[in-house]
Each structure stands twice: as C-alpha cells, then as structure tokens.
Structure 1
Amino acid sequence: MAVTFNHTIIASKNRDESARFFRELLELPEAPSWGPFLNIQLTDGVLLQFAEPPVDIQMQHYAFMVDDELFDRAYQRLCERGIEHWADPQMRRPGETNTEHGGRGVYFKDPSGHAIELITRPYL
C-alpha cells in the first residue's frame, strides 16, 4: 500500500472558532466529529481535527495548496477581515503576497496563532 496522509490534530484555543475559520477561508464542508475533536475534511479526504488541549499551545506551521481561484477568494476574505498577512515567513513583507516557485503564496496566523501558508504551486 502506498503511504498517504490521513489526519492531523490542530491544537486550538477554541476548536469551534478555529474550525469555522478554516471552513470559511478554504470553503470546506463540515465533517462528522467525535470526542474532543471538531473535524473538517480536505478534498483529498485528509481530516483536520481541532481540539482544545489542556496545555499551552505551541505554534505550528500548516501549508495548503489551493487553486488560483480559491487563492483569490481566500485572500480577499483575509483582507476584508483585516487579518494581518505577509508575503514571507519572516513577516518582513506585510500586506503582500509572493510569486515565488512559479505560483502565489501568502502567510498569516489562524485564531490560535498557528502560522498558515496558502500556495498555488508546489515547491518541488
């Protein structure tokens, strides 16, 4: 069997707020949830499971590849909501997107402080 990615748990200060943020930004449907997890499902079947751990949350980085049309809509939502964003992971180019790797990209933080990246082309 080939190896595929199935799911990840994203630590959240408020799992409802975090799941809603990603659903609205990335235009994703709700998925069945259970136990401490509030789930959303990506197009390829991967589950993002949001949970509120009883520990301090350490920042993680999550990158999502999207098509150009979704990138435009998501970027417009970021701007409309006043979400601070950058063209680079070092946060030195605020309010911009990048055109590296033959596509476009943007960095921002989710409601729990995780570093999120949207790209339109893979790096490799």
Structure 2
Amino acid sequence: MTITLNHTIVPAVDNEAAARFLAAVLGLEYDGPHPVAKHFAPLRINDELSLDFMTVPDPTGHHLAFDVDPATFDTAVAYLRAHELPHGDGPGDHTNGRVAEQHPLGARGVYFADPSGNLYELISPA
C-alpha cells in the first residue's frame, strides 16, 4: 500500500479565519466547517490532502511547506503583495518582502505566516 497523508490538524486562533486566509493566498475554495465534525474547518489542498484547522486556546504554529506549480506560486506572491501581507525569502526572514530566487529545494520560494503563527512555505520548480 502506498502511504499518503490524508489530513493534518492545524492549530488556529480562529479555525475558519485561518482556513479562509490560506484559501485566499493559494486561490482555493473554502467550503465551510466539516459537516459532521463541526470543530474542524477543512481546506482541501488537493485530491489527497486536507488541512483541518482547529481553534485552540493558545495555538503553537506549525511549518507547512508546499510544492506548487509556477502559476500558483506567482498568483500567491501577487496576492501577498496586493494585500500587503508580510512574506519573505527564508524561515527566519519571512517578513522581508523578498522571494527566494535560489531556494534550496526548488528554483523559487516564499514564506508567510498566518495570524496564528503557522509558517507556510511555497516552493516552485521554476
């Protein structure tokens, strides 16, 4: 059997706000709370993975890295810039306003955080 990650829980101050934030940056649709487990705000990343945001009192941020195609990368960076959202070229420099043009895992990379302290990394092959 091939092993794939089905979902992961992402802690948030406000689960629905966190799901909407990442959906907006990545150009995805957020469909609302889970129909049965209403304490989760799932965001479908692709056919195999969802991030299930969950409101917790004192969220500890996670680091989540995504390989994305160049068009998705460009759209996300444009969104971050248009909405004046902090982003940067490294995990320690995720607010410097730059994009890594020589990312160690791909051609380009960008980092940004959500209000709950989750740090997102997008990696593009070109």
Aligned match of 1:113? 117
Q: Distance in 2 between matches of 1:92 and 1:22?
A: 16
Query: 1:35 Cα shift?
Result: 2.5
Q: Distance in 2 between matches of 1:24 and 1:90?
A: 24
Aligned match of 2:75? 73
Equivalenced residues, count: 120
Query: 1:80 Cα shift?
Result: 1.0
Give the letter aligned to residue 24 of structure 1: A
Aligned match of 1:96? 98
Deviating runs (4+, > 6 A) in structure 1? none
Query: 1:13 Cα shift?
Result: 0.6
Q: Structure 1 residues 64 and 79 mapped into 2: Cα distance closer, same or farther (>3 Å)? A: same
Q: Distance in 1 between matches of 2:95 and 2:110?
A: 10
Q: Structure 1 residues 73 and 92 mapped into 2: Cα distance closer, same or farther (>3 Å)? A: closer
Give the letter aligned to residue 113 of structure 2: K
Aligned match of 1:42? 45
Aligned match of 1:19? 19
**SS of the residue aligned with 2:24?**
helix
Give the letter aligned to residue 77 of structure 1: Y
Q: Structure 1 residues 12 and 93 mapped into 2: Cα distance closer, same or farther (>3 Å)? A: closer
Q: Distance in 2 between matches of 1:84 and 1:22?
A: 14
Q: Structure 1 residues 92 and 116 mapped into 2: Cα distance closer, same or farther (>3 Å)? A: closer
Q: Distance in 2 between matches of 1:23 and 1:93?
A: 20
- For structure 1, which segment, 78-87 or 28-37, has the greater mean C-alpha deviation from structure 2 after superposition? 28-37
Q: Which runs of 5+ in 2 are unaligned?
A: none
Query: 1:93 Cα shift?
Result: 7.6
Q: Is the 8 A contact 1:17 1:111 kept in 2?
A: no
Q: Distance in 2 between matches of 1:30 and 1:18?
A: 10
Q: TM-score, normalised by structure 1?
A: 0.87
Once the two structures are superposed, residues 44-94 of structure 1 have per-residue CA deviations (whole angstroms, 9 ceiling, x without a partner) of 3211101112x3111210111111011111101101111111111121881
